Amino acid sequence: MSRSIRSWLLTAAAASLSFGSASFAADEIIKPVDQRFASKEASEVPNFQQHIVPLFSRLGCNGRACHGSFQGQGGFRLSLFGYDFKLDHEGLTKGDKDKDKEPRVLIEEPEESLALLKATLETPHRGGKRMDADSWQYNIFRNWIKAGAKSVEEGSPKFVKLEVTPSEIQFGKDGEQMQIKAVAVWSDGTREDVTPLCRFNSNDDLIANIDSNGMVKSGQTGDTHIVVNYDAGVVPVPVIRPVSDKTGQRYPKVETATKVDELVVEKLRKLGIVPSEVCDDHEFLRRASLDITGTLPSPQEVVDFTSNPDSDKRAKKIDELLERPGYVAWWTTKLCDFTGNNASFLNNVGGNLGGRDSATQQWYDWIYKRVADNEPYDKLTEGIVVATSRKPGESYTEYSERMCQIYGPEKKGSYAEAGGLTYYWGRQNFRQPEERVIGFAYTFLGLRIQCAQCHKHPFDQWTQDDFNQFKGFFQGVSFGINPKDKAEQQALLKKLEIEKKNGNDLRKELAARVAKGAVVPVDELYTVKPQAAANNRNKEKDKDNSKQNSRLPAGPKAKLLGGEVVSLMEHDDVRTPLMQWLRDPSNRFFARAFVNRVWATYFNVGIVNPADDMSLANAPSNSALLDHLSQGFIAHNFDMKWLHREIANSQTYQRSWKPNETNKHDQKNFSHAIPRRLPAEIALDALKQATSSDTEIARLQNDLKGRAIAIAGTNGRGGNNNGSLSFALTVFGRSTRETNCDCDRSAEASLLQTVYMQNDDEIIKLLTDKNGWVNSLVSPKVVPNERDDKRGEVAKAKAARRSLEAQILANERTLKKARQAEKVDEIKAIEARIAEFKAKIAKIEASVEAKPEEAPQPAEVVHSEPEDLVKAAYLRSLSRLPSKSEMETSKKFLTQSEDRLTGARDLLWALINTKEFIINH
């Protein structure tokens, strides 16, 4: 049937839909191909996109280990996971005359086609037998060849969606089965049962196994998803098998104080999981303080809060915590993780005119100001996505003057006030459009889209076309000197008499001149408005780009992920429509990505986990919960504090970590708190707080000086820190911000962490600090001062050694990558640096051995009551009072100690080395 007749029929009131050589009513679901092509007498002509390519996927022909590899197999290549219909069709029908490779299909003699002979093993095939000669698969392929082996024709129906039933599967016992049915919907209204052409996977085979025909079989108790793939459709189907008999009417009454609790318990009820009780006040206060502010509650705060009878005290405490500087610092650090603030990639960014690591500090300060102001998340994002350097009407020279005032000796103004976060676009690992697509999708969409750079994404809807079409929004955005302003730049250099310098020499000279108050040319972020294509464009380049732009209108354009095509010539800044799309309420990525990451910070796992992998195949453990929070976040104008309150005020967040019989194995449905190791920065701050005097603890609650959560850079420098914490931050897994992955931050425990906690010089220094808690117990007249100078020298030497050890660790990671890439020159340079660092350490160790630290002398303790000492030690470290047995054991230990001072120090050392201290529970 011709397209013109079909078009006429589609507009008629009593339309019927043409499919191959058969007709079907508009609301009819076409039978599956395994029925229609069961007989070799079948005359229907299959469609290349709708039947042949999906069949390749189903048979594994276009997989990575077969013809889908980049080299192909046996001279025949298919696009990985399909969807490059042109490449696939040419590979089948044209062969390769240069390599004496025949076409894989013979239209004149279909049965003699090499593709059929190999798939049936009539001819040797390294991939083995893929079908029988009398099978429906064979008949589909043969009929397509027989009818001319046509490709996807212009104007062919577009894939719309994949409908899968049932939408959820609930099993009750071992061995139960359920058949999946998948219906493809096309733009012409056609609906076809494509179950035999789908690929099926289980996210957990132990809970639910699925065969190649879509039959699901129950296994162990728990919940998972079955993922159905067809064309661009990826549909996850939840599968649940209760872990207990407490379901339906047998499920106990559970209080649900908030909508979050309702949605969580609704899922738990299906699973037969009863949530743990709400935690006590000590547990809540410690957990909320660490999660929201990255700070331990002070001993007095614990006492006051737990003795407060106010029924609304938890909600009030959450509000109070959200107003503390610790909240701003910690969540600024998290946003720096997501946006990629790494000094290593900012070496040549103009901001370093302000000194070493000034760009990474200014990046931190820029975000800090907006978190402190509780600027809406979409507005904060806008300041990054459409950032510009200059103010309206500002010349290049005026811009340079303004920035040099910020970087110069008088520090007039600040980068945080100057405009957008331009450094996000200036990073050395964010210069190429491909890098920007990957980094942007990670930061703002929670997507790992890099697979689609080369082929169809195996776990999502994205194709190489989608990736290439999205690149348009990241072209024409540059960081450096705009060619239009070259004359002004040269004039500034000439005025300084340094116009002949370049490279590192020029950068060093510029920094030195700025430090003296001079005005120097400053790099900027600028955009170039897209222009209409010139007549003399490179034809070969046009040819290369024709495939990726085949679906788009002529002229500069780009396509939003899963969205519309945008004509870039209509916008002065190509990033403007991108930002409009992000904050559009219909965008299903932007709000969900941030909500999911915040949730993951509070619960150890995201609603989608990993939190930065929001692919369709990686389905949410509770879709309704993610929808509720995302929609609420948008409705409350992207208010970040609203989101924190909504989560922290729920009973779900406030549940005890102690499990019951039904939820002891639950790790993803939020039926109890999951104990988790403190993040690196918070762990180091907690150690400092636990060992500090009461006066210092009070200061640390509201002053960020010396706090690890306020360090801007990944190298341990920034804020008020000189890098002495670099080694410890590395040991505890601080985010390296090197790749587009949340896995740059590690929460894994290690032996090195244990060694650090028990024996590192920094821990000993904290415990013996003359201004610390232990020494605050000593009568002033006997505080040992005579050894301070010598101990200070030793401490400085050991700090220098730790800094060198951290640099060795970082270089060893880089060395490993260089060896994998076989970069010989780089390997030699890194090995030389490591050897140099080790030599310096050896020199320091010799120096330390030459200046042994004198043993501390015992002193009289002012607070002589052992019970008071024990309570104080527990409150400052574990944020609770000791149990009766703990009190008795600790008192006995103190009385048996050499002296009370030594006993108090050893008791505190023992407490900070417990799991309870280093774990947020």
Residue 897 vs residues 883, 894, 901: alpha-carbon distances, Å:
21, 5, 9
DSSP string, 377-416: HHHHHHHHHT--SSPTT--HHHHHHHHHHHHSTT--S-HH
Q: Give the pLDDT score at 549.
A: 41
Bridging pattern class, strands 717-718 and 177-179: unpaired
Q: Give the Cβ contact number of residue 285 at 10 Å.
A: 24
The per-residue b/e assignment along 713-734, b for 16 or more CB within 10 angstroms, e otherwise, is: bbbbbbbebebbbbbbbbbbbb
For residue 407, give every residue at least 6 positions away whose Cβ sits within 8 Å of its Cβ, in sequence order, or none: 351, 353, 354, 358, 514
The rounded distance, in Å, linking the Cα atoms of 437 and 430 is 9
Tally of residues, the chain: 921
Q: Give the pLDDT score at 198.
A: 94
The whole-chain average pLDDT of the chain stands at 87
Q: Give the Cβ contact number of residue 432 at 10 Å.
A: 12
Q: How confident is the model over 54-84, as pLDDT tens digits? A: 998 888 887 777 876 777 777 787 777 777 8
Q: Give the pLDDT score at 826.
A: 78
- Reduce the DSSP state of residue 329 to 3 states and report it: helix
Report yes or no: 326 and 295 within 8 Å, Cβ to Cβ. Answer: yes
The rounded distance, in Å, linking the Cα atoms of 911 and 874 is 7
Q: How confident is the model over 153-168, as pLDDT tens digits? A: 888 899 999 999 999 9
Cα three-residue angle 602-607-609, rounded to 5 degrees: 95
Is 836 a residue whose pLDDT tops 90?
no
User: Which two structure tokens, joined as six digits, stand for 535?
Assistant: 């007549």
Task: Describe the crossing of helices 751-759 and 761-768 by its angle, rounded to 10 degrees.
Answer: 30
Task: Assign 350 a pLDDT band (cuts: 50, 70, 90).
Answer: low
Q: Give the pLDDT score at 724.
A: 67
Range 374-387 average pLDDT:
97
Place of tokens 């037998």: 129
DSSP string, 468-520: HHHGGGGSSEEEE--GGGHHHHHHHHHHTT-TT--HHHHHHHHHHHHHTT---
For residue 538, give every residue at least 6 positions away whose Cβ sits within 8 Å of its Cβ, in sequence order, or none: none
Q: Give the pLDDT score at 358.
A: 86
Q: How confident is the model over 94-138, as pLDDT tens digits? A: 865 555 567 888 888 889 888 888 888 888 888 888 888 999 999
Q: How buried is residue 748: exposed, middle or buried, by Cβ count under 10 Å (0-12/13-18/19+)? A: exposed
Q: Give the pLDDT score at 2.
A: 41
DSSP string, 746-810: -----HHHHHHHHH-HHHHHHHH-TTBHHHHTB-GGG---TTHHHHHHHHHHHHHHHHHHHHHHH
Is 716 a residue whose pLDDT tops 70?
no
Report yes or no: 882 and 843 within 8 Å, Cβ to Cβ. Answer: no
Helical (H) or strand (E) element with 236: strand 233-241
Q: How confident is the model over 794-829, as pLDDT tens digits? A: 666 766 776 677 677 777 777 877 787 777 877 887
Q: How confident is the model over 415-442, as pLDDT tens digits? A: 999 889 999 999 999 999 999 999 999 9
The per-residue b/e assignment along 121-144, b for 16 or more CB within 10 angstroms, e otherwise, is: eeeebebeebbeeebbbbbbbbbb
Q: How confident is the model over 628-675, as pLDDT tens digits? A: 999 999 999 999 999 999 999 999 999 999 999 999 999 999 999 999
Is 545 a residue whose pLDDT tops 90?
no
Its pTM stands at 0.85
Q: Give the pLDDT score at 3.
A: 39
Q: How far apart are the first and last CA of the chain?
A: 67
Q: Please confirm whether the linkage preceding 103 is cis (ω < 30° from 0).
A: no
Q: Give the pLDDT score at 795.
A: 60
Tell which residue, 731, 844, 855, 758, has the closest CA to residue 795.
Answer: 844
Range 169-177 average pLDDT:
94
Q: Give the pLDDT score at 898.
A: 82
